[in-house]
Structure 1
Amino acid sequence: MAGRVRLLMPVAALLFLGLALLIRVVDDGALRQYSGTALYASMIWAGVLFLWPRMAPVPAGMLATVFCWLVECAQLTGVPAALSARSVVARLALGVQFDPVDLAWYPVGVAPLVVLHHVVRTRRRAASPAARPPDTHL
């Protein structure tokens, strides 16, 4: 199971990235800004599960959200801006400028994935033979 999660999470991250880039092509307003923030958080969630594929849904979501908040707050120091001036990758990963609105959009990108993760995990456990009570034929 953990191996399957490790294979799926990079695919999920690439899908989130592709969707974010597609939105950037068709919109240059609020949709672009806020969907990019939410989809960044979705990519971080995928990264968390890639590193820890057996992590439960809520802790994975909390870790991804807190990581995003830390990166956003680090922008108050100016270090990400300095790194972003030298590297496009740093700019995409760390951002440039603190935006308090982003703090609210990170959970928006993670919460639906936590719910989906919980549903898939619950169904998988219910379908597993080990989760079923033994048959009693008297």
Structure 2
Amino acid sequence: MRPAAAAAAVVTVGAGLGLRAVAAGSVAKYGGDALYTVLLVALVVLVAPRWTPLRAAGTALAASWAIELFQLSSLPAELSRHSVAARLVLGSTFNAPDLFWYVVGAAGGWLLHTAMVAERRPEAPPAGDSPHTGRAPRGSL
């Protein structure tokens, strides 16, 4: 799961940069907000690959909201004036609609993570064909 999460993080950063290159205004702003939370979901999965999709997405959403609410203080704006990294991670000014777009990103991250988990889950044997019964699976010799 970690290699997929790392790849998802790289693709998400690329998507964010691509969005900024081809779009402007609210499409770029709010699309970037959603992708920010998708990136956080990927990073959570990278650090905690056994977490459920809901837990990973919920953690990413909580972090996104916490950072946005932190912008109600003057500290993120001050740090952003002195550091590009702080500006990218913390932002600078509170914007209430961002809270909604973080939900959109968390939902998208949850859907992607759920699909990846389902794809990796082994298919269950048909009922009655347990390896513990000693019976061969149906259709085999």
TM-score of the superposed pair, with normalisation by structure 2: 0.85
Aligned AA (1:42): V
Alignment CA distance shift 1:119-1:24 (3 Å):
closer
In structure 1, distance between residues paired with 2:30 and 2:91: 13
Aligned AA (1:15): V
Following TM superposition, by how much is the alpha carbon of 1:11 offset from its aligned partner in structure 2, in angstroms? 1.9
Q: Which runs of 4+ in 1 moved over 4 A?
A: none
Q: Helix, strand or coil: the match of 1:77?
A: coil
Considering fraction of residues, name the structure with more helix. 1
- Residue 45 (structure 1) aligns with: 41
In structure 2, distance between residues paired with 1:40 and 1:95: 11
Q: CA RMSD in A?
A: 1.7
8 A Cα contact 2:42 2:109, kept in partner: no
Alignment CA distance shift 1:66-1:126 (3 Å):
same
- Residue 19 (structure 1) aligns with: 15
Unaligned runs of at least 5 residues, structure 2: 137-141
Q: Helix, strand or coil: the match of 2:29?
A: helix
Aligned AA (2:29): Q
Bigger radius of gyration among the two: 2
In structure 1, distance between residues paired with 2:63 and 2:112: 20
- Residue 69 (structure 2) aligns with: 73
1:6 and 2:33 aligned: no
In the alignment of these two chains, the number of paired residues is 131
Q: Which moved more, 1:25-34 or 1:61-70?
A: 25-34
Following TM superposition, by how much is the alpha carbon of 1:62 offset from its aligned partner in structure 2, in angstroms? 0.5
In structure 1, distance between residues paired with 2:5 and 2:112: 14
TM-score of the superposed pair, with normalisation by structure 1: 0.87
Unaligned runs of at least 5 residues, structure 1: none
Following TM superposition, by how much is the alpha carbon of 1:25 offset from its aligned partner in structure 2, in angstroms? 1.3
- Percentage of matched positions with identical amino acids: 37
Following TM superposition, by how much is the alpha carbon of 1:17 offset from its aligned partner in structure 2, in angstroms? 1.1
